[in-house]
Homo-oligomer: A and B are copies of this chain.
Amino acid sequence: MQGWIDGVLDRNWESDVDGTVRFALIGLGWWTTDVALPAIANSDNCETTALISSSTEKAASFADTSGIETAMSYEEFHEGTDSDRYDAIYIGTPNATHLEFASTAAELGKSVLCEKPMESTVERAERMVERCESTATPLMIGYRMQTDPLVQRAREMIANGVIGDPVSAHGQNSQPLLEMIPNPDQWRLNPELTGYGTSVMDLGIYSINTTRFLLDTDPVAVQAQMHSSHEAFEGLADERSASIIQFGDCQLVSTSSQHAQEDTRLTITGTEGQLELRPAFHGDCRLRVSRGDTTITAETDAVDAEYETTELFDYFADRVLAERSVGPDGRHGLTDMRTIEAIHQSAATNERIEL
């Protein structure tokens, strides 16, 4: 217990580099301004040196408030304006706009940290990977759960056999989107911007990717059902969704909804124990591990979404500065994109889709 409580915040990577990665943040939604910006301010090896938004004025206004020197529009970014003032970009814009930003960064020789899901379709995500690989541009997808220390401890326990052979997993990620953002005209409800749909792209991806990380294996087949009835979800199949996602002989059953009581959790049951993250995905993660009749729980006030994001940026900076390969990289993100596409195909056809 002593070692456990002392080591709960340990990183599963070591920072042994000096230097700073200067970031241009693209897309100034609430996540970028309220979470990513302070997270970078707290980081060891990152600094925000440029803000990029739909208009120079919007970017300049945020830059003034935050004491950041450089502000520009998307257009100016694509033209290469002031590109000597940053080393990497963080893409926090709607899904269907990621490819263009990553492509420009690849041309400009800037490293890319891109929010998940990496793009709106498999085809566009593949092009993003190609563009970045063609110029040897580091491309990492922003899977915060993989840098959350409690999730890393969970992964280590599974690898060490604490729960035995994984048997089944339950993932749930739901939220009342229209109460959180009371406007049907938002990009998560716009099929042209979100991609295959909304609940799996935006929420289900957490259960899928975190299970991949915890089990250290990838999905092989999916089955799914979806349903939309509220008028705000017109043109989107998955106001709510349910899937079976097969990881070898372990089945993840996953539900996600953009129109439901908030709940996030991931439970993995094995032949000899059970591991649960609940809440799981919004930064205030609580870990519960059972084996036989014994259960331990771990939670820490030190970790929240901002902390996870600091870890994400510091890890990315460490890889870039040391010229190590980054990961979860674009090809890792592509596996989620193909899984989500298959989940939508399965729901549309009622067929099991092999990956």
Cα of A350 to Cα of B221 in the assembled complex, Å: 10
- Asked if B167 and A257 sit within 8 Å, CB to CB, the answer is yes
For residue A325, CB closer than 8 A to chain B, the reply is no
A259 and B271 in contact (CB under 8 A), knowing A249-B229, A253-B254? yes
What are 16 pairs between A and B in contact, CB < 8 Å?
A: A163-B261, A164-B261, A168-B172, A168-B240, A168-B257, A168-B260, A170-B170, A170-B253, A223-B350, A242-B251, A244-B244, A251-B255, A259-B271, A350-B352, A351-B351, A351-B352
Q: Tell me the residues in window 266-324 of chain A with beta carbons closer than 8 Å to chain B beta carbons.
A: 267, 269-274, 290-292
With A168-B174, A249-B227, A251-B225 already in contact, the answer to whether A273 and B261 are too (CB < 8 A) is: yes
Residues 327-350 of chain A, each 1 if its beta carbon lies under 8 Å from chain B, else 0 = 000000000000000000000001
Across the interface, A244 reaches (CB within 8 A) one of B170, B229, B242, namely: B242
Contact B261 A274 (CB under 8 A): yes
Taking the complex as formed, is A176 at the interface, i.e. its CB lies under 8 A from any CB of chain B? yes
Cβ-closest chain B residue relative to A179: B292
CA A88 to CA B28, docked complex, whole Å: 72
Q: Is A243 positioned at the interface, with any CB of B under 8 Å from its CB? A: yes
Closest-CB distance, A163 to chain B (whole angstroms): 7
**Knowing A244-B242, A269-B255 touch, does A172 contact B170 (C-beta < 8 A)?**
yes
Dominant secondary structure at the A interface = strand
Q: A163-B261, A172-B269 are in contact. List 18 more A-B contacts (CB 8 A).
A: A168-B255, A223-B223, A225-B246, A225-B251, A240-B251, A241-B251, A242-B253, A244-B253, A253-B253, A260-B269, A260-B271, A261-B270, A261-B271, A261-B274, A261-B291, A263-B269, A350-B351, A351-B351
Complex contacts, A271 vs chain B, CB 8 Å = 176, 259-261
Which residues in B have their C-beta under 8 angstroms from that of A168?
A: 172, 174, 240, 242, 255, 257, 260
